[in-house]
A = this chain, B = another copy of it.
Amino acid sequence: MEGGGHPCETTRQGLILVASLVDKVPNLAGLTRTCEVFRAAALAVSDISVTAEQWMPLLEVPEADLSHWMVQKRAEGYRLIGVEQTAGSTLLPELAFPPKSVLLLGREREGIPLELLQLLDHTVEIPQLGVIRSLNVHVSGAIALYEYSRQQHAQQQAKLS
């Protein structure tokens, strides 16, 4: 999976992905890889020592500090967006992502706790047609990163033309 050599210095995007609520190591490892592929600004995790990572900028944000950290990010101009199915959620393709976005993923089973949901500017949900299962948290994060990247690219193309 890993190539040798030094990475090209392509610019990172403005999105910070927050996986501090994600517990399972394969999901954290997968999200780290996917964040690097999409050149996210950073990945926040609860314990930085769990994720061996050479390339991706990691932030250590334990769950106890998460609400404080998110409020601070909003003051820095970030919009706070959670991936969660709620009555008020916007469908993912219909949310216009601002370049400076903080994207919060939920716990593997329980999703995003209420006290953090209340802090968010938006919740988005990925349109799911099946009723038996829901998407894995790594896959949900990857799809949201793809959609964010797709929108940023389309906006850049529109500016150029």
Contact = CB atoms under 8 A, between A and B. Distances in A.
A64 interface: no
A37 B93 CA distance: 17
A135 interface: yes
A153 interface: yes
Contacts of A93: 150, 153-154
Protomer copies: 2
A139 B7 contact: no
Given A131-B8, A142-B143, A143-B142, A136 B34 contact: yes
Contact of A146 (B8, B38, B143): B143
Contacts of A161: none
Interface residues of A, number: 38
A36 B130 contact: yes
Interface in A6-34: 7-8, 10, 13, 26, 30, 33-34
Given A127-B149, A153-B127, A142 B135 contact: yes
A133 B10 contact: no
A30 B139 contact: yes
Interface of A: 1-3, 7-8, 10, 13, 26, 30, 33-34, 36-39, 55, 93, 126-136, 138-139, 142-143, 146-147, 149-150, 153-154
Given A138-B139, A142-B142, 4 more contacts: A34-B135, A55-B132, A93-B150, A127-B149
